Structure 1
Amino acid sequence: MAASGYRELLRTPGVGRIIAAQLTARFPSGMASLAILLHVEHTTGSYGAAGLVLAATSVGQAVAGPVTSRWMGRWGMRRVLTLTLLICVLAVTTLALAPLHLAGYMALGLIAGLSTPPVQAAVRTIYPKMVNSSQLTPLFSLDASLQEIIWIVAPVVITFVSTQVGTVQGLLLVATIQVLGGAWFILSREVGRVRIPRSRRGFGAVVLKPPVMLATVIGFLLIGACASVEVGVVATFDHGGLEAGLVLAVFSVGSLAGGLASGRVPIGPWAMARRFAIVTVGLALTMISLNVFWLGGSLLLAGLGVAPALAVLFAITTASVKFSESAEAFGWVGTGQLIGAAAGSATAGVLIDQTGGAQGAYLAATLFAAVGLLVSIVFVRAFPDLRDRDPSPIPDTEPVILPSS
């Protein structure tokens, strides 16, 4: 998509503002994993323990995602977002300041995960109400691309603060940005203006739709690969400097570039397989060498497929469900991603401890991606063809009773 097309999209009333607000609200998500990883590894001396705490956090997010997302249709976005934000900030602050053993860290990580505000589900439910159908797919691509700013800047910032100042200060920085960004998003006009209708279907029914199930499984595998890479990069460079944050930033730069370039590429049934192939090849190359420049180059290549793959996930989910089901559907898709993050982090952490090196983490990342590519190929017929189709949610309709003649 040309730059002029993105400028036109951002000139749509409210689009630029809500993108900026949600990116700020989600910025701590790019810091929290590294902050927790560094803090727990620093206090316990074990990457395995740190991986378990990250897994507990991700499992909490995974369990809560569909539930809190569905609650927004019952009690309203602002109420749910405000309550979850307050609990999450308290949990992160306690995690930073309280002297704990592994069980305590895992319990607080679980609470922080359970109370993570459902910002992603909220904003991706709002988007179809802000733009016309022809702009929706490019908006998802832009969103998936710009969120990489989080993964470019946040790892560098949190690595610097945690290694040069202290891991406690790193977690407190996460909590501070949670408060500021969360307040901005919650008070945004669009959050108060859009109301999600209460879903008439039973809880969990929407995830049984093939495109939503596929998006959930594919998201699990894609984010599992990314989480393994994150742990592997941190272990590769340990606490020696900013290399870990910079290499992860390069990974995100590739994703940003790929997402922006694919904004107007039609999404057909094979779109996911093509994009996952790029990720798989790039991650496979990481196993050749742990040299900083080689890792940076191979992760740059892998990143070119990440945001485009996420854009496909968002588009097929939106196009396959009713508006009243959108938030819960994105909650389930987020759950898949978060379980993937838990699996990737825990697997990579254990393999690092057992092998004494970071190579195991990159192998795990490559296997996650390879399985994702395989799933995309085997189930290609289940992917909706959006090349000549309105990707907006299916309208909610009421039964009409006709008078008898």
Structure 2
Amino acid sequence: MASYSELLKTPGVARIIAAQLTARFPSGMLSLAFLLHIEQTTGSYGSAGLVLAATSIGQAIAGPLTSRLMGRLGMRPVLIVTTILCVTGIVSIGLLPLTVPLYMIVGFITGLATPPVQPAVRTIYPKMVNSRQLTPLFSLDASAQEIIWVVGPVITTLVATQIGTIWAIMLAAVLMVVGGAWFISSPELGRVRIPRSKRKFGVVLSRPAVLLATVVGFLLIGACAAVEAGVVAVFGHGGPEAGLVLAIFSVGSLAGGLLFGHIPIGPWATARRMFIVFAGMALAAFVMDFWWLSATLFIAGIGIAPALAVLFSIVSSSVKFSDTAEAYGWVGTGQLIGAALGSALAGFSIDGYGAQGAFWIAAGFAFVGVLVPALGRRWHPDLRGRDASPIPDTEPVPMQPS
């Protein structure tokens, strides 16, 4: 814990973590708010899952594109435009009486305009701390972001059930405006400039570590999205139980990140952490009870933040600084495609087989998430005794004739 205390004393670190968490806080609200609102409007979890999938696909397409644009146009212009467009889409879903196809179109556009806050801050971090502090910073960030998933679902569930689903969506829109303004105005966005990449778009995905992180992130977040849909289906709209279970799930991730995030990263690191996630989700699928789900999902959560910290570290250590934003964009795209597929499969499974089906979908995603890094460990960077700093960009230095 001393390493985390030292990190927070580094100038600007605590502020930029707080700003980006606030800017991203709606991420912990919108999926659940859209799910509750659209299910209430259409009467179908399958329809709600399709809208969530369309939104996530839009985010997935935007991820590497807007991240790469930050290297060409600058971080602030890209973040300002995308925030305005995204908030407009969120408000439209909350207020306009739409059919399911129109909800899907607006959701897709909203996802396409999602502000690339995560790639921006992951690119800034290596310029704020020394190489020894970078892996603990990724771990602290992965743990701190669980505040989004602890508080967000609780607030969303309480507001949606006690006041109305529209108000839950509007609250998320207001927080996106406030958080986005705080993050965009942060001094670090002006001090750090992302160099323009000299490589063709998408080439960074050919790096084995980036591809591995993208695939594992797809499976991990797909499992989490299925769990979220399953928990909501178990407890419905009648009380706060769904939000509380999801909060406990995230508390497990927060605890795991703080307790185990500093462990050195070897070739088996991702597979071990994903096995914890799989074990908890597989156990959860057996009993649809508040206390059983709370306990088993807490166990599953213990592996999530440590797994994410490993993914961020192996990407950072494997690419040049000019490619980091695009690399994190691709990782984010993998996660969002996972969220889309996990939500959609869980929604149809709930309609066909009940809430329990969503947990078996989640366990399946997590099981493959163990196999992939285990089979691909030869491409997994061994960071024991190494730092996770990006590879420096080098250019020829012109020499004057003597």
TM over 0.5: yes
Structure 1 position 182, deviation (Å): 0.4
What is the CA distance between 1:263 and its match in structure 2? 2.6
Aligned counterparts of 1:33 and 1:210: Cα–Cα separation in 2: 31
Partner of 1:363 in structure 2? 360
- Per-residue deviation at 1:400? 4.0
TM superposition shift of 1:262: 1.5
Quick check: 1:217 aligned with 2:215? yes
Aligned position for 1:35: 33
Q: Distance in 1 between matches of 2:359 and 2:119?
A: 30
State the AA in 2 paired with 1:160.
Answer: L
| Alignment partner of 2:308 out of 307, 310, 315 | 310
Secondary structure, aligned partner of 2:317: helix
Which residue, 93, 101, 113 being the options, matches 1:103? 101
Which SS does the other structure have where 1:196 is aligned?
coil
Percent identical among aligned pairs is 66
Q: Which amino acid aligns with 1:300?
A: F
Who is 1:174 aligned against? 172
Q: Distance in 1 between matches of 2:15 and 2:337?
A: 30
- 1:3-402 matches, cutoff 5 A: 4-355=2-353, 357-400=354-397
Measure how far apart 1:403 and its partner are. Answer: 7.4
| Contact 2:86-2:110 within 8 A present in 1 as well | yes
Once residues 119 and 386 of structure 1 are traced to their aligned partners in structure 2, the CA distance between those partners, rounded to angstroms, is 26
Residue type at the aligned position of 2:329: G
Q: Residue type matched to 1:71 in 2?
A: L
- The alpha-carbon deviation at position 404 of structure 1 amounts to 8.8
RMSD: 1.0
1:297-322 alpha-carbon deviations (Å, 9 max, x no partner): 00000000000000000000000000
| Structure 2 counterpart SS, 1:113 | helix
CA distance in 1, matches of 2:19, 2:105: 30
Q: Which digits, 9 at most, give the CA deviation of each residue in 1:206-236, with x for residues without a partner?
A: 0110000000000000000000000000000
Give, as a single letter, the amino acid of the residue that structure 2 aligns with 1:237: F
Q: Which amino acid in 1 is paired with 2:313?
A: A
* Equivalent AA in structure 2 for residue 271 of structure 1: A
SS at match of 1:320: coil
CA drift of 1:180 comes to 0.3
Counterparts of 1:381 and 1:402, CA distance in 2: 41
Q: Contact 2:85/2:110 (CA < 8 Å) preserved in 1?
A: yes
TM-score, normalised on structure 1? 0.98
Partner Cα distance (2:23, 2:398) in 1: 45
Equivalent residue letter for 2:338: G
- Mind listing any 5+ residue stretches in structure 1 that lack a counterpart? none
Q: String of CA shifts for 1:222-279, please: whole Å, max 9, x gaps.
A: 0000000000000000012000000000000000000001232100111011101101
The answer (yes or no) to whether the contact 2:257–2:306 under 8 Å persists in 1 is yes
Which string of whole-angstrom CA distances, capped at 9 and with x for unpartnered residues, describes residues 126-165 of structure 1? 0000000000000000000000011000000001111110
Structure 2 CA distance, aligned partners of 1:401 and 1:214? 38
Instruction: Supply the distance in 1 between the matched residues of 2:167 and 2:397 (Cα, whole angstroms).
Output: 59
**Equivalent residue letter for 1:75:** L
Give CA deviations for 1:313-361 in whole Å, capped at 9, x if unaligned.
Answer: 0000000000000000000000000000000000000111112x10110
In 2: Cα distance, 1:378 partner to 1:402 partner: 48
Structure 2 gap ranges (5+):
none
Instruction: Tell me how far 1:399 sits from its aligned partner.
Output: 2.5
CA contact (8 A) 2:135 2:387 kept: no
C-alpha displacement of 1:388 = 1.4
The total of aligned residue pairs comes to 402
